[in-house]
Amino acid sequence: MELPLAWPLQPMLAKAAKAVPKQPEEGDAEWSYEPKWDGFRSIIFRDRDEVVLGSRGGKDLARYFPELVDAVRRELPDRIVVDGEIVVPREIDGRTRLDWDALSERIHPADSRVKMLAEKTPSMFVGFDLLALGSTDMTGEPFRSRRAQLLESVVGGTQCQVTSATDDAATAEDWFERFEGAGLDGVVAKKLDGLYLPNKREMIKIKHARTADCALVGYRVHKSGKGIGSLLLGLYDGDQLRMIGGASAFTDKRRVELLDELAPLRVGEDVVSDAQANRWTSNKDRSWVPLRIERVVEVAYDQMEGERLRHAARFLRWRPDRDPLSCTYEQLEVPVRYDVADVIAGGY
């Protein structure tokens, strides 16, 4: 490739904040706000027929998304470097929203499955920053200029889109609440005069953060074979207990402690495999150990996808004061149903 920027390139990063930053009371706007897309971060490099879908970890994702490579050749300028997210939009409950499970399943070693999923769950690229165009390195230009050029260069395609953006903080706060129903998980703020600085946390991200009390259903053994890898969580829908996902990220010491702590709750010595609990790939061992439904655990989570957690939750504390039967869906905030098309610049 003969582009002004070379692959691999580390993306510019964001630091977390609790609230959308305000614009200055006087003078020009300082911030640009956009919805935070929850997909695979990717910097696309295109030099005519050569296309690289660069991941944050420096890998080329092109073999997993052949339909997106074709779309890049079809819809983007001949020579371009653009930062964005690879997502999989699907119609869910009558609206198009992001499907994290379908996106995760696209990373598969078998070529036949990659081809099948490319047709069954086609991906889309949502661009939010232009890094190079033709022979021009844009990273030294202010974001307001990069954004304007991005809109001119990319808008108009089908699978390659540009995210919506605004300089109005009130609109950004509204997006933070409304767009979650489309599968997005917050808002990103960027300095309008800011340069593109790879691997620097120069942006601000505001993400959804919530807690829920869940019934402890069981656990999975850690992949090392020592201790508990994840606690399996459930919520009641009427009289029916539904598995919603897991809570993980324990230390080695805590995993072993939990195994001893929960041993008295084991239902016999059975280890079962439950397809309902499988959020990832079918070739993984998803066996789990059921427990008597007696304990309640409070967890932190970002958002729901249908009846399940979109990502793994974080263990906060046990709730001995709660009855598992009181752990229902009614305690959750239900996001507004929103369509991905409403989050794209100009729709699609």
* Of 23-37, 79-93, 125-139, 321-335, highest mean pLDDT: 125-139
Nearest to 61, CA basis, from 46, 36, 40, 78:
40
CA distance readout (Å), 95 to 106, 181, 307, 309, 336: 22, 9, 16, 19, 11
Q: Which of 15, 18, 22, 36 is catalytic?
A: 36
pTM given for the model = 0.75
CA distance readout (Å), 230 to 111, 200, 259: 31, 32, 11
Which uninterrupted H or E stretch holds 322? none
pLDDT per residue as tens digits for the range 289-335: 999 999 999 999 888 877 888 888 999 989 887 889 989 988 876 55
Single-letter residue type at 288: W
- Give me 233's structure tokens: 């969580």
pLDDT per residue as tens digits for the range 55-82: 988 899 999 999 999 999 999 999 999 9
pLDDT per residue as tens digits for the range 87-124: 999 887 778 888 888 998 999 999 999 999 999 999 99
Residue 347 or residue 191, greater confidence: 191
* Catalytic status, residue 191: no
Give the chain's domains with CATH numbers: 13-208 (3.30.470.30), 210-331 (2.40.50.140)
Q: Three-state DSSP class for 93?
A: coil
Instruction: Report the alpha-carbon distance of residue 224 to residue 260 in Å, rounded.
Output: 16
